[in-house]
Amino acid sequence: MFPYVMLAILLVRGLTLPGAWQGVVYYLYPDPSRLADLQVWMEACAQVLFSYGVASGTHITLSSYNKVTNNCYRDSVWLCVLNSCTSLVSGFAVFSALGFMAQKQGIPIDKVVTSGPGLAFIAFPQAVAMMPLPQLWAACFFLMLILLGLDTVFAGLETITSSVIDMFPGQMRRPWRREILLIVFCCFTFLLQITLTTQGGVYQFELIDYFGANGICVLFVSLVQCVAVGWAFGAERICDALEDMMGQRPGVFYSLCWRYITPLICTVCLIGFFLDFQPLTTSDGSVYPNWAYILGLAIAISSVVTIPIFALSKIYFTEGSFRQRLLVLWRPVSDPVGPKTKEEHSLNETEMKSLSAPFPDKL
């Protein structure tokens, strides 16, 4: 609750600053001409995926600790509502402070500060400095940032450690193996990211943020997940599983999203990213050199390269012809709502030869 308390305090203080309503009007006033800009749609899609933590594995990992009968539909709705409301209220707090800074400096709001670290280290501290006991509120604000960062790191670490333990259960599910893995991983990432604290660290940060943590990687992983869920596992099969879990079957709209709408949006945004590529610039307006783009693409590829590597390795080590391998791998390992015996799950050679139709949705 501490972040929400600080957000409420900053919102109240920001709205009482001179020029705050100028920022609020700028925040709420729509610009229909921007709807024709493909870059706006791509950034909006990437922001939604990044804000909700989609395709990061965090939701899948944390939800695995729930009961089988947990109402995941209700949890998803509440997550979307709370996240959207928090983003909306945060926008009022940010733009009220930007309106005050714009009036104080006598410049347009869009020239005050750009997105990114400037909002956290320029806009909000300006609002905090105008409060009574500014040192106290500044300490509370930056404590909130630290706690939010740690909370995000905890979720990411849990995702990575759970994945490694599930992949190597025989070696990792032993005493102290999990703790050793956490220590090694934390030390490795600490040494890897310590260069961000140098004088040129801000340039490295912007490069990693633009290529590594931006929309292109999340869009690609989201596309792969939609194909895996909607087509490989089967939209109807997952609806059957959810009905067994919650006693309520998802509507047809969700199946359409898993199979068609979401993959189409992700594909269009991915294509648009390369067609409408925007050069990365520093905070002072300088353009990054060409070798930086190569490094950035390497960072982006490194975060998604495991998907084709694992896919190719599975195809290579699976027996049968190339078509038979694809047919076997396209099917889910187990069916939570279908046949339960090992014999019913097996796909013998006779069945594979008789499969001449395209990849089925429900097997």
The per-residue pLDDT for range 335-346, each reduced to its tens digit, is 544 444 444 444
Are both 165 and 191 inside the same structural domain?
yes
Residue 187: pLDDT over 90:
yes
pLDDT greater than 90 at residue 256: yes
pLDDT of residue 118: 64
pLDDT at residue 115, rounded to an integer: 59
Q: Do 219 and 192 share a structural domain?
A: no
Predicted TM-score of the model (pTM): 0.79
Decide if 202 is inside a domain.
Answer: no
- Distance, in Å, from the CA atom of 297 to the CA atom of 265, rounded to the nearest integer, reads 22
* Domain-located, residue 225: yes
Domain membership of residue 132 (yes or no) is: yes
Residue at 21 is within a domain: yes
Residues 176 and 225 placed together within one structural domain of the fold = no
Please provide the average confidence, as pLDDT, over all residues in the chain. 81
Number of structural domains found in the chain = 2
Tally of CA atoms within 13 A in the half-sphere of 59 that contains its CB: 14
- Main-chain dihedrals φ then ψ at residue 30, nearest 5 degrees: -80, 155
Same domain, yes or no: 10 and 137: yes
Q: Does the pLDDT at position 247 exceed 50?
A: yes
Q: Indicate the annotated binding residues for Na(+).
A: 51, 83, 148, 151
First-to-last CA distance in the chain? Answer: 46
Asked, for residue 306, whether it belongs to a domain, the answer is: yes
Q: Please tell me the predicted confidence (pLDDT) of residue 104.
A: 81
Query: Quick check: 249 pLDDT over 70?
Result: yes
Q: For 287, phi and psi rounded to 5 degrees? A: -95, 140
| Residues 49 and 225: beta-carbon distance below 8 Å | no
- 168 in the same domain as 58: yes
Kindly state whether residues 14 and 163 are assigned to the same domain. Answer: yes
- In this predicted structure, what is the pLDDT of residue 214? 65
**Residues 29/174, Cβ–Cβ less than 8 Å:** no
| Cα angle for residues 106, 138, 123 (degrees, 5° grid) | 30
Does the pLDDT value for residue 355 go beyond 70?
A: no
User: Structure tokens of 157?
Assistant: 């670490």
pLDDT at 69: 87
Structural domain containing residue 61: 2-26+38-197
Q: In the prediction, which pLDDT does 353 show?
A: 39
**Looking at the domain assignment, is residue 295 inside a domain?**
yes
Task: Tell me, yes or no, whether 326 and 238 share the same domain.
Answer: yes
Per the CB < 8 A criterion, the answer to whether 281 and 287 are in contact is yes
Q: Is 94 part of a structural domain of the chain?
A: yes
Q: What is the share, in percent, of the chain residues with pLDDT greater than 70? A: 88
- Known binding-site residue numbers: 51, 83, 148, 151
Note the pLDDT tens digit of each residue in 105-137.
Answer: 788 877 776 556 667 777 777 777 777 788 888
pLDDT in tens, 192-242: 889 888 888 888 888 888 887 667 888 889 999 999 988 888 888 889 988
Give the tens place of pLDDT for each residue, 135-169. 888 888 888 888 888 888 888 888 888 888 888 88
Go through 175-197 and write b for each residue having 16 or more CB atoms within 10 A of its CB, e for each that does not.
Answer: eeeeeebeeeeeeeeeeeeeeee
- What pLDDT, on a 0 to 100 scale, did the predictor assign at position 224? 92
Does residue 332 lie within any of the structural domains? yes
Domain boundary (147, 165, 197) is at 197
Letter for the amino acid at 195?
A: T
